[in-house]
Amino acid sequence: MVVMSPSIHARQSFYNAHKEDYTSVFCFANIPAPIKMPCPVFTYVHNVNLLAIPKEFPLKRKVMNWLKQRYIAILSKNTQCWIVQTQNTENSLRGSLPVGGKRVLQLPFFYIPSELKKQASNNETRNGYIIVGDYTGTRGHDELLEALNILKSRGFTPMVHMTVSADIPFAQTICDAVSNGISIVNHNILPFEELAKIYGHCKATVYPSVNESLGLGIIEAVEAGCDVVAPDLPFVHSICRPSEVFKGRTPEAIAEAVMRYEKGTSPKSELIVKDCIKELIETITDKE
């Protein structure tokens, strides 16, 4: 294994020095090889925010992501195949990068530990909701908090479990909401074994994210026996059949979706995505 400086120069120097050493190259972090290789190059694109830049991003981050996108576009001539996780990411890829004449494969991969899967058979009464993931500004924590305020004004205060870092400003926002009567438990960042148990006590995930390359929080929730209440967006429908959807990601729409789910007539959520790690390895090692 070689560990090098995360710079364009170091990466290009390495490729120039070793261009004849490989029969296949797998670029895992969105960016194709910096030079034309004599062997097949597969580029795995797993950051959808580089392809479809969220309008919620601050201007500086938008500019940086756009520059990265253009850099990837310049290097696109050096890859023979793009690999993505969902149809949603493939559509974003085709809309922002040169893909003409190249293969685009959907090969998601993820690992669901046994301690999570066994929660699906938990027959205890499930209460409350869960949203797993740290605060990013685009995952929907702000909108969800406002939705919980709307629900409180209607006399309904469902318990919501969060996993937000304790050392960021939004953690204080959560504390303020709890002081105002909103039912939230912020577990901070915790071991997966403990997280699995929390999934097992919840009945659904509320996941009002802007976009996801995969949406592991949704996959984990369904595997643990939870339902999905999520935005009516392509990334959601690329991975599951949700129990309830809301349009626009507004707090009012989220609150209405939760109230519909609370009636108990929503269909059970189902996954439509599967782990393709075996197919991925076979593809990049030419064992198809």
CB atoms within 10 A of CB 77: 12
CB atoms within 10 A of CB 81: 18
For residue 28, which of 284, 279, 214 has the smallest C-alpha distance?
284
Beta strands of 39-159 (E only): which ranges?
Answer: 41-44, 81-84, 103-106, 129-131
User: With contact defined as beta carbons under 8 Å apart, do 15 and 9 qualify?
Assistant: no
Residue 176: enclosing H or E segment and its boundaries? Answer: helix 169-179
User: With contact defined as beta carbons under 8 Å apart, do 82 and 229 qualify?
Assistant: no
Q: Model-level pTM greater than 0.85?
A: yes
Locate the domains of the chain by residue range: 8-108+275-284, 114-271
Per-residue pLDDT tens digits for 66-88: 999 999 999 999 999 999 999 99
In eight-state DSSP terms, residue 213 is: S
Which of residues 166 and 124 earns the better pLDDT score? 166
Locate 89 and state its tokens. Answer: 């990411």
Decide if pLDDT at 140 tops 80: yes
Contacts 24+ apart (CB under 8 A), 165-169: 165/134, 165/135, 165/189, 168/134, 168/135
- pLDDT category of residue 288 using cuts at 50, 70 and 90: very low
227: helix, coil or strand?
strand
Decide if pLDDT at 131 tops 70: yes
User: With contact defined as beta carbons under 8 Å apart, do 162 and 195 qualify?
Assistant: no
- pLDDT, averaged across the chain: 94
- 114-271 sits in which CATH class? alpha beta
User: With contact defined as beta carbons under 8 Å apart, do 61 and 101 qualify?
Assistant: no
50: helix, coil or strand?
helix
Instruction: Provide the pLDDT for residue 287.
Output: 52
Instruction: Provide the pLDDT for residue 272.
Output: 96
What percentage of the chain exceeds 90 in pLDDT?
91
Per-residue pLDDT tens digits for 187-230: 999 999 999 999 999 999 999 999 999 999 999 999 999 999 99
**Cα–Cα distance for residue pair 189/192, rounded to 1 Å:** 9
Mean pLDDT of 262-282: 96
Per-residue pLDDT tens digits for 56-65: 899 999 999 9
Residue keyed to tokens 């560990």: 3
Can you name the residues that pair with 131 across neighbouring β-strands?
162
